[in-house]
Amino acid sequence: STQVNRTVWYVRRVADRPDWFSMADAPLYFAGIEGGASKSECVILNAAGEIIGSSKNDELNQWLIGVPKVVERVNQLVADAKNAAGLPLETPLVSLGISASGADKEEPKQQIAAGVASQPACKADFYHVCTDTFGSIAAGVGPGKAGVVLIAGTGSNCALQNPDGSSGNCGGWGHLFGDEGSGYDIAYTAIKLVFEVSDRYTTCPAGSIDVLRQKMFTYFGVASLQDMLSHFYPTIKKPFFAAFALQVVDACKSGDACAQWVLSQIGSRLGRHVVAVHPDVTEELKTKRLPVICVGSVWKSWVHIKDSFLKETATLPCPVALLQLKGPVAIGAAVLGAALSPHMPAVDYSKNVDVLHETA
């Protein structure tokens, strides 16, 4: 679905706080924070684009911990990163960018930015708050450039950013209605197949379910399909459930045909995300090379999902470059914040990615 101006800013300029600092005669520091549903990270960049300090903390999703806790945690992240950089707590920043899962609605974005602006460690001239998908794109290709991020970790999501600020999205709806191609989806597809074949509701599409069934029993510590119900009700523990994907991948590496079929389905589902957002690419870029930032542990199994993924994306009218980040996603958050200011750290984005695969 196409969305325009999906990334929202909260800006406080230096003129509003003349006591903070003068950019002309002070070192320039840019902070960026990336936060997910399980962990968060902060980096501080200097004008040369070098990371001079970093810190880590727990989850930063406002749907999980609330806006006040997000603000508190952001302040702690910046304070710890300043400490690591040898900077005094009161050292002002040119900008502070926050790229966090759950930061997808206007009101909480404004609340987070306003709350952060009042924190002692977070004095800055420019603030930028957006969802984590756009931070990943910026980390790989830089701000203001066209790109796609395809997240395939515990869950999945895909977002497109155009140079004009318009965007597109596919997925990100959670494990009940989405997460296709994720670790959760690998586990779900394998377990569902074991149940359906055991019930003779369907036949095994390749090989036998024997290996996957035994791995499932061992991983979940059960002796029967009925015993599995205790892991489904009243609620599924999503990270634990999704981690069964590692067992499926292990079976795939060992040559199990059924597990290989599961991974082929995952490749197709991930490829369809890219196909789904491509119509939202601006017209003049539709046939140009499309960089896709690949984030998440599912991409470690590229060899097992490659063929089915490429079969889906072969329908696109443009070459696709699959890129994996070598540096922190928080770099992307930092440069998105910096893009609002008259200054930009000299980040070499080519050194921040590895090419996983590129089509002609």
Q: Do residues 101 and 131 touch, judged by C-beta distance below 8 A?
A: yes
- Rounded CA-CA distance 100/60 in Å is 6
Q: How far apart are CA 320 and CA 196, in angstroms?
A: 36
Please, what is the Cα angle at 300 between 296 and 302, to 5 degrees? Answer: 110
260 and 252 Cβ atoms separated by less than 8 Å: yes
pLDDT score for 262:
98
Q: Which of 171-195 are b and which e, b meaning 16 or more Cβ less than 10 Å from the residue's Cβ?
A: bbeebeebbbbbbbbbbbbbbebbe
Q: Please say whether the beta carbons of 352 and 331 come within 8 A.
A: yes
The predicted pLDDT at position 17 comes to: 45
Here the tokens at position 228 are 């599995």
- CA separation for the pair 312, 316 (Å, rounded): 8
User: Which residues of the chain are modeled with pLDDT < 70?
Assistant: 1-25
Q: Across the chain, which distance is largest between two alpha carbons, in Å?
A: 75
Where do we find the tokens 């810190």? Answer: 55
CA-based torsion, 289, 290, 291, 295: positive or negative: negative
d(CA 106, CA 232): 34
CA 269 to the chain's CA centroid: 17
Residues with Cβ within 8 Å of 23's Cβ and at least 6 positions away in sequence, in order, are 14, 94, 125, 342, 343
How is 38-60 classified by DSSP, letter by letter? S-EEEEEE-TTS-EEEEEEES--
Q: Which amino acid is at 93?
A: L
- Cβ atoms of residues 334 and 304 within 8 Å: no
Provide the pLDDT for residue 16: 46
Interaxial angle between packed helices 210-220 and 257-277, expressed in degrees from 0 to 180 and rounded to the nearest 10: 80
What was the pLDDT predicted at 24? 52
**Contact indicator for 302, 61 with CB cutoff of 8 Å:** no
Dist. CA 207–CA 37, nearest whole Å: 36
> How many angstroms from the chain centroid is the CA of residue 287?
25
Which letter does DSSP use for residue 206 in this model? S
Rounded Cα distance between 38 and 57, Å, is 9
The pTM of this model reads: 0.84
Q: Which two tokens stand for residue 355?
A: 């090419």
**Total number of residues shown for the chain:** 360
Ordered DSSP codes for 143-159: TTS-EEEEEESSSEEEE
pLDDT of residue 25: 64
